[in-house]
Every structure is written in C-alpha cells, then in structure tokens.
Amino acid sequence: MILMGKYRELLFSQTKRIGKDNLMLLLSVYPALLGIIGRYLVPWLRRVFIESFEYDIIVHYPAILVFFILANPYIYGALAAFTVLEEREEGVFHAIRVTPLTLQRYMGAKIFGLVVISIASGMFVTWVVNLISIGLWQSFVINTLLAFAAPFSMIAINCYSNNRVEGFALTKGSGILIMLPLLGFYIPEKFHFFVAIIPGYWPAMSINKVVNPSFGFMPYWSYAVAGFVYILVLIRIFHKRFERKLSESR
C-alpha cells in the first residue's frame, strides 16, 4: 500500500511538472496534433499531386502512416527524457536511494506509464489519420510494440546526456530513428538488414505485411514479436548503462 501511494505521488508530480513547462506541455499534446495533421494534410497533398503532377501518392500511404505513428512514442520518450534529466539535475535520483521506493521501481513506474499512454495515443493516431485499413487488434499489437520506443528513447537520451541542453540536441539528432525504418518500404528485402537494427523497422514491417501480404515470409505478428524481443533487450542494455552512469555521478 505504501508503494502504491508512492506511485500515485509520482504520477501526480509528473503531471504537475508537465504543466509548468511550456515545451513539455506542447510535447504532451503533440500526438493529438499529429493525428489531426495527418487526417487533413495528407489527403490535401494527394489532391495537389494528382492535379499538379498527375501522380497519386496513395501508394505511399503505408509509409506515411508509419511516420506518424513512429513519431508518437518518440515524442513521449523525449518528454520523459527531459523530465528525467531535470530530476537528475535536482538530485532526485540520489534522494530515492534512501527511500523505500527503489530506483528500479521508480523507473519501472515511469516505463509502465509511458507504455500505457503510448499505446492509447498510438491507436488514437492510427484511427484519426486513417490512411490505410488496419483492424483494431492489429492496431493494438503494432502500437504495443511501438510503445516501447518511448522508454527506449527516454533511457537512451539520458545515457548520453548530462543536461537538458544536451538532451534536446540529441533528441533532434535521433529523428533519423523515425525516418530510417521507412526505407523498408522501398529497398529490396535483401538489403533490409541495414535498417533492421533500428527498433522502428519491426513495427513498420508489420504494417507493410498487413497492407502487402506478399511481403516477406512471416506473418505480421512475427515481425511484432521479433521487434518486441529486440527492443526489450535494448532497453535492458541501456538501462544498465544508465544505472552505471548514475552510480558514477555520486
């Protein structure tokens, strides 16, 4: 019961922190903006391309959808990363070491919250953008995998940043993690191993399989399972590195 109370206090403190920072407030509502932009901007661009160039971009809708729903968890990951960086600057993690709420449980609560909100917002973005037909269950499976990109991004940014300025620069550079998986829609399958190391490749190819059954040799959920195992391993590796960094900074 004590720990549950601690978790509630953690959630409340994170909500207050978001509300006091305009950048974080913008990031927290960005997925909704992302969905609305995708809903109306992409069809408009399609009409422009058809009328001006006689080219229909509908063939690129799967890749465009992947861009929108990949951006969603990375946005939340950036939000959480800035929160963690601020807490590190304030000495929160050192204070936790002398409380019943261990560092593992504290980070576990953050990761759990990130995953839940990323799944819900990812399914919302998928539904609002509505570029291709994806079943509710398929959307849940793919967005559950995508959701783990949020804690991965949060921990990875903190592994290589010492303050929010460095974290912001690293976040801008990490945009390539959103763009590279899109290559899987356009390059021959024999070259996919070049982009398969990017976590977002696996959910991207899950969607590719849903809309293009002739792609690959595995069902869509196999790509999701492989990606799930892969990103959990990455999170574990980076979390260990983050713990070492915190220990060295004492």
> Which has the minimum average pLDDT: 63-77, 89-103, 109-123, 183-197?
89-103
As a whole number of angstroms, the distance between CA 65 and CA 129 comes to: 7
- Rounded to an integer, what distance in angstroms lies between the CA atom of residue 62 and that of residue 58? 8
Long-range contacts: 32-37, Cβ < 8 Å, 24+?
A: 32/121, 32/124, 34/68, 34/71, 34/72, 34/75, 34/125, 35/68, 35/124, 35/125, 35/127, 35/128, 35/129, 36/128
Q: Which residue has the tokens 């729903």?
A: 69
Kindly indicate the confidence band of residue 21, based on its pLDDT and cuts at 50, 70 and 90. low
Domain count, the chain: 1
Q: What's residue 45's pLDDT?
A: 93
Lowest-confidence region among 3-7, 101-105, 142-146:
3-7
Rounded to an integer, the average pLDDT of 23-30 is: 63
Task: Specify the amino acid at residue 5.
Answer: G
Domain that holds residue 72: 2-248
What is the dihedral sign for C-alpha 51, 54, 58, 61?
Answer: negative
Burial code (b: 16+ CB inside 10 Å, e: under 16) for 40-59 equals: eebeeebeeeeeeeeeebee
Cα three-residue angle 84-159-26, rounded to 5 degrees: 40
